[in-house]
Amino acid sequence: IFLDPENPMLLEYGFIMDNVQRVQNLSKSHKNHFELYPNPEYFTFEERVKYFKSEYLTINGRNLDRACKESDVEVKIGNGFCNITSLSRQQLTCRPPTEAVAASDSPEGPEVIVRIGSSLVYRIGILSYESSNIIMDWGDNVVFGVIAGSFVFLVIFVALLVAYRKKTSESNRVLRNMQEQMDILELRVAAECKEAFAELQTEMTDLTGDLTSGGIPFLDYRSYAMKILFPNHEDHIVLQWERPELLRKEKGLRLFGQLIMNKTFLLLFIRTLESN
């Protein structure tokens, strides 16, 4: 029979007593019925072993207070009893006994059992008073996942290490090649510099020998100036100093230079130029 917890099944009640009609259906005469609810359901612990961490123990379920009260429920932990403090639609809260009272013969720890009346018994799981052991608490699936994740992480780490070593080897090889090329270039430059220095030494030796044997060649000021001002024109008219007319002009310019050195003549000469 399917029972809806929100809409309980209504049952009529009465007595068959010496064919008295008015007591055969008391629910109709008193306008009330027995309400039939589904049995409460208590869920087992999510962990294989639940570790007791606080003062109270909470047990989850469904339809826990539909048809029973706190006094109808008994929670036993090992050899002791858990004192029920609250009962709601989906949770039961109780205060477990001390570890010594709840001690049992089971090596894993005391078992939590919920009993309602004499017919409903629910085995919730194992309760441990010891500190939580993460490996035991997770379960086989989680441990397998951790191992698989560790293996994948190890594979990725090894792959990255191999790639790093390969990259490092390539970098070292490139650096070694560059170093060899730089050494070769350095040797080549050194050889060329040595040859150039030898040639320079030879030229300096030759030049020193020429200067020692013949002296430094030089021209007088007039010849040097004429060759600089009139290159490749040895018969230029300016170079012909021996012509008579040039001699007369030179004499006149020399006399004019002497007059320029006379202050009186220079002042009169400037005034004459200004007046004209």
Our count of domains for the chain comes to 3
The CA-CA-CA angle for residues 167, 169, 174, to 5°, reads 95
13 and 63 housed in the same domain: no
* Domain assignment present for 3: yes
The CA-CA-CA angle for residues 44, 88, 46, to 5°, reads 20
CA pair distance 160, 260, nearest whole angstrom: 98
What confidence tier does 135 reach under pLDDT thresholds 50, 70, 90?
very low
Q: What is the DSSP letter of 27?
A: H
* Domain assignment present for 234: yes
% of residues, the chain, pLDDT over 90: 22
For the chain, what is the mean pLDDT? Answer: 81
**Better-predicted residue by pLDDT, 105 or 166:** 166
* Domain assignment present for 235: yes
Q: What is the pLDDT of residue 222?
A: 73
80 and 15 housed in the same domain: no
Burial of 190 (0-12, 13-18, 19+ CB in 10 A): exposed
- The pLDDT of 57-74, averaged and rounded, is 89
Looking at 25-34, 90-99, 158-167, which range is the least confident one?
Answer: 25-34
67 and 121 housed in the same domain: yes
- The pLDDT of 76-104, averaged and rounded, is 85
- The pLDDT of 75-94, averaged and rounded, is 90
Give 55-69 as a DSSP string: S-EEEEEESTTSS--
30 and 57 housed in the same domain: no
Q: What is the three-class DSSP state of 38?
A: coil
pLDDT at 132 over 90: no
Residue 162 CB contacts under 8 Å (≥ 6 apart), including other chains: none
Closest CA to 79 of 55, 98, 107, 64: 98
Q: What is the pLDDT of residue 27?
A: 78
Lookup result for tokens 């086989």: 140
67 and 85 housed in the same domain: yes
- Domain extent, residue 122, equals 47-138
What confidence tier does 253 reach under pLDDT thresholds 50, 70, 90?
confident
Q: What is the pLDDT of residue 74?
A: 92
Write the pLDDT tens digit of every residue in 207-247. 666 656 555 566 777 778 777 877 777 666 666 656 666 66
Q: What is the pLDDT of residue 139?
A: 55
Q: What is the pLDDT of residue 221?
A: 79
117 and 78 housed in the same domain: yes
Which among 138, 170, 192 is the end of a domain? 138
What confidence tier does 160 reach under pLDDT thresholds 50, 70, 90?
very high
22 and 99 housed in the same domain: no
Residue 78 corresponds to which tokens in the numbers above? 């090992």
